[in-house]
Amino acid sequence: MWFFSVIRYWRHHEKEAAADRVRTAGLETSARIPGLRPSTLYHVTVLVYNSAGTGPPSPRATVTTKKPPPNRPPGNVSWKTDGSWVTVMWDHVKAMKNESAVLGYKVLYKHEGQSALKVLEKGKTSISLPLPKDNGYVVLEIRSWGEGGDGAAHETIVSRDSGTGMMVQNTAPIFSPRTHVLLPTALLLRFLGSPGL
């Protein structure tokens, strides 16, 4: 016997007939729905299918997506090198009324020539990181994060011989592809199996 579920979801002002769908395999009781709009009311139902046919739809649930994260990167990023360490500082990102609150910061970094990224989560607006042993550099990306996902990033490069520096903003993307960025408008749904399975 085979099973799968179909999650139907639509915005409040849309008709159910126009609902989008996400299919889950087997007896999965949760699914991630990417690409939803922030601060938007959605209706959701779940249908379960098996080899005997289609079960009745679940009762309609209503959910509102979170506010989007701030669309501004951390500002006034500065750094100071001291021997084999660099201390990076930045201004707090203040969320506007229509944005989700900032709960902390993500700092992604890698040394010159490395492909692996290291991610640190901080509640503070500064961080100390080791510099490469040679005369290489560190690539940094700093962004706020919160319930609405990851905010816009500030990207910069710091080297051992850069001493003290300040970067207002560099908009050129250093990290690509951005598989590490959370989708602010994704919804994780968990549902109970339909009776009779």
Residue 14 lies in a domain: yes
User: Do 86 and 43 share a domain, yes or no?
Assistant: no
Query: Could you list the residue range(s) of the whole structural domain that residue 115 is in?
Result: 77-167
Bond into 177 cis (ω within 30): yes
User: Do 147 and 81 share a domain, yes or no?
Assistant: yes
Cα dihedral 111, 112, 116, 120 in deg (nearest 10): 30
C-alpha distance from residue 40 to each of 37, 56, 64, 74, 165 (Å): 6, 26, 5, 26, 42
Residue 155: pLDDT over 60: yes
Name beta bridge partners: 173: none
Residue-wise pLDDT tens digits, 55-79: 899 999 999 999 999 999 999 999 9
Nearest CA among 9, 60, 21, 49 for reference residue 193 = 49
Bond into 57 cis (ω within 30): no
CB atoms within 10 A of CB 15: 8
Q: Tokens 């607006």 — which residue?
A: 125
The CA distance from 14 to 46, in Å, is: 17
User: Do 34 and 90 share a domain, yes or no?
Assistant: no
Report field, pTM of the whole predicted structure over 0.85: no
Residue-wise pLDDT tens digits, 14-56: 999 889 999 988 878 888 888 899 999 999 999 999 888 888 9
User: Do 20 and 95 share a domain, yes or no?
Assistant: no
- In the DSSP assignment, the letter for residue 59 is P
Residue 106 lies in a domain: yes
The pLDDT assigned to 82 comes to 85
What is the average per-residue pLDDT within 135-144? Answer: 86
Residue 135 lies in a domain: yes
Question: How many domains, in total, are found in the chain?
Answer: 2
What CATH number does the domain containing 83 carry?
Answer: 2.60.40.10
User: Do 58 and 94 share a domain, yes or no?
Assistant: no
User: Do 121 and 63 share a domain, yes or no?
Assistant: no
The CA distance from 8 to 21, in Å, is: 5
Residue-wise pLDDT tens digits, 88-100: 999 999 999 999 9
What is the average per-residue pLDDT within 143-152? Answer: 92
User: Do 162 and 93 share a domain, yes or no?
Assistant: yes
